[in-house]
Amino acid sequence: MENTNYLCGDREYFTGIGKIPFEGRDTDRELAFRWYDENRVVAGKSLKDHFRFAVAYWHTLGGTGADPFGRPTMNFPWLAAADPLQQAKDKMDAAFEFMTKLGVPFYCFHDYDLIEEGADLTTSARRLEAISDYALEKQQASGIKLLWGTANLFSHPRYMNGAATNPDFRVVAHAAAQVQQAIDLTLKLGGENYVFWGGREGYMSLLNTQMKRETDHLARFLHLAKDYARSQGFTGTFFIEPKPMEPTKHQYDFDAATVIGFLREHDLLADFKLNIEVNHATLAQHTFQHELQVAADAGMLGSMDANRGDYQNGWDTDQFPNNLYELTEAMLVILQCNGFQGGGINFDAKLRRNSTDLSDLFYAHIGGMDAFARALITADRILSDSPYREKLQARYASFDTAQGQAFESGSMDLPTLAALAHTFGEPPLQSGQQEWYENLINRYL
Ligand code: XLS
Ligand code: NI
Ligand code: NI
């Protein structure tokens, strides 16, 4: 084993598994990368720098397989200790052992993923102080960094009617205390970004909801959080993670377009970007590619939560990504907008309830990382070796004429445009050639 930094204390959790090597597609070794060679340079950057992969603390270390119909199925050894600080340290040892062996450069957490919330804010603050001291040591020893931090403003019963959008001002104040603390924590650990996912910022029924008031409160809250973080020297980016529903019937941060409109309306565009999640896109009746494109076109593609939904199930199943076709479509968007602004790829994905081996955690992440690597390599070849770009450009060539340009630049009025119709005559039909485009991905995979 190459790196033993994670062996803090004397316990190894993932016994029999060493550092995951890159071996190429023909290897027989089960636990190896077939595509993700972190040093491979594609489109001018190493795969490591393109993706900036992160492990999601809540699923990977805390996802025990419990669902509304059944108890946990995964008895993770790092969750066994009864004392909260001991349990948090064990969990963190396991996290850094896992991430070091896997070779991911980042992680992400909610405040109370790190350590169990206390009975009051003071107890929680004390606990977070202790575990973040420990996190700092682990980060320094391993070189693993924090991609983003956030506060869990949805699990505790106090948030059942929302956090920043709660009709009770006292709950809004509690959410503020938690966010202030989570910002401090993110700063302390050198976190590069800070995320807001408004899990319960929405409504269950409009009959008991003053929607305008609630969304104004949300904007006010985001301003306060941003102003505080900036006053403390935070220079990173704030991300909003759109999701249309679940746990609420309707979430205000519905999709990328809605969030961009909201940020513009409330003068938050300068500090916020988007964190696009695959399964949230499909819940909003969009494709992942669509959400990425909307964010990229607005110059606001900040980061990504990687997972996938299930074609038959209508909820956020958070499965690990494995669909090469869809990921290649996504990578075409990402390469063409020159990557993420500040963020990376966080595996907001969990094992299935009946995947109960510790090695399943490795298979899941290796599979996801390999799928992204293969998709990026494919997308790069489509962009650099195929006629894709030229063909797409040619589809709009009529706007590159003097008249087309006059229209695009705003120097043509409606009567002039309408008059052109008479000179042009009936336009001939131009095929969109969708099937040709669709075949490209399989051709280059
Ligand atoms: C839930 C969200 C959540 C955020 C972080 O659906 O994806 O996990 O990423 O609060
Ligand atoms: Ni997410
Ligand atoms: Ni999600």
pLDDT, residue 6, reads 44
The minimum-distance atom of ligand 1 relative to the CA of 277 is: 7
Task: Flag whether 423 is in a domain.
Answer: yes
Ligand 1: residues with CB < 6 A are: 110, 150, 195, 197, 241, 243, 277, 305, 316, 348
Do residues 145 and 105 share a domain?
yes
Please give the Cα distance from 262 to 265 (Å, whole number).
5
* 190 Cβ contact partners less than 8 Å away, ≥ 6 residues apart: 139, 145, 146
Q: Report yes or no: 360 and 79 within 8 Å, Cβ to Cβ.
A: no
Do residues 153 and 99 share a domain?
yes
Number of domains present in the structure of the chain: 2
Do residues 392 and 360 share a domain?
no
Do residues 243 and 330 share a domain?
yes
In sequence order, what DSSP letters do the residues of 305-323 get, joined into one string?
Answer: EE-B--SS--S---BPP--
b/e code 421-439 from CB counts within 10 Å (16+ = b)? eeeeeeeeeeeeeeeeeee
Task: Flag whether 329 is in a domain.
Answer: yes
Do residues 225 and 310 share a domain?
yes
pLDDT, residue 128, reads 98
Give pLDDT tens digits for 275-331.
999 999 999 999 999 999 999 999 999 999 999 999 999 889 999 999 999 999 999
Task: Flag whether 393 is in a domain.
Answer: yes
Do residues 65 and 214 share a domain?
yes
Do residues 225 and 77 share a domain?
yes
Do residues 179 and 286 share a domain?
yes
Q: Which residues of the chain have pLDDT under 70?
A: 1-9
Of the listed ligands, the closest to the CA of 305 is 2
Catalytic residue from among 50, 59, 110, 286: 110
Q: Which residue CA neighbors atom 4 of ligand 1 most closely?
A: 197
Strand, coil or helix: what is 339? coil
Do residues 305 and 407 share a domain?
no
Task: Flag whether 123 is in a domain.
Answer: yes
pLDDT, residue 9, reads 57
The whole domain housing 324 covers 5-23+41-364
For the record, the structure tokens of 24 come out as 């190429």
pLDDT, residue 314, reads 86
Do residues 404 and 298 share a domain?
no
For ligand 1, the distance from its centroid to the CA atom of residue 348, given in whole angstroms, is 7
Q: Which residue CA neighbors atom 8 of ligand 1 most closely?
A: 348
For ligand 3, the distance from its centroid to the CA atom of residue 39, given in whole angstroms, is 30
Task: Flag whether 227 is in a domain.
Answer: yes
Give me the residues paired with residue 107 across strands. Answer: 55, 146
Task: Flag whether 370 is in a domain.
Answer: no
Tell me the angle at which helices 358-385 and 324-336 cross, rounded to the nearest 10 degrees. Answer: 60
Give pLDDT tens digits for 130-168.
999 999 999 999 999 999 999 999 999 999 999 999 999
Cα separation of the two ends of the chain: 33
Q: Which residue CA neighbors atom 2 of ligand 1 most closely?
A: 197
Of the listed ligands, the closest to the CA of 196 is 1
Catalytic residue from among 37, 111, 113, 271: 113
Do residues 158 and 104 share a domain?
yes
Comparing C-alpha atoms, which of 294, 323, 293 is closest to residue 308?
323
Task: Flag whether 374 is in a domain.
Answer: no
Residue 113 a catalytic site member: yes
How far is C-alpha 144 from the chain's CA centre?
18
Task: Flag whether 376 is in a domain.
Answer: no
Do residues 348 and 208 share a domain?
yes
- Report residue 103: phi and psi, to 5°: 85, 35
Which of 110, 241, 347 has most ligand 1 atoms within 8 Å of CB, for mutation?
A: 241
> Please, where are the H alpha helices in 72-147?
84-102, 111-114, 121-142
Please give the Cα distance from 163 to 173 (Å, whole number).
9
The minimum-distance atom of ligand 1 relative to the CA of 58 is: 8
Please give the Cα distance from 117 to 79 (Å, whole number).
15
pLDDT, residue 335, reads 98
CATH of the domain at 272: 3.20.20.150
Strand, coil or helix: what is 204? coil
pLDDT, residue 7, reads 46
Give pLDDT tens digits for 189-221.
999 999 999 999 999 999 999 999 999 999 999
For ligand 2, the distance from its centroid to the CA atom of residue 279, given in whole angstroms, is 9
The minimum-distance atom of ligand 1 relative to the CA of 197 is: 10
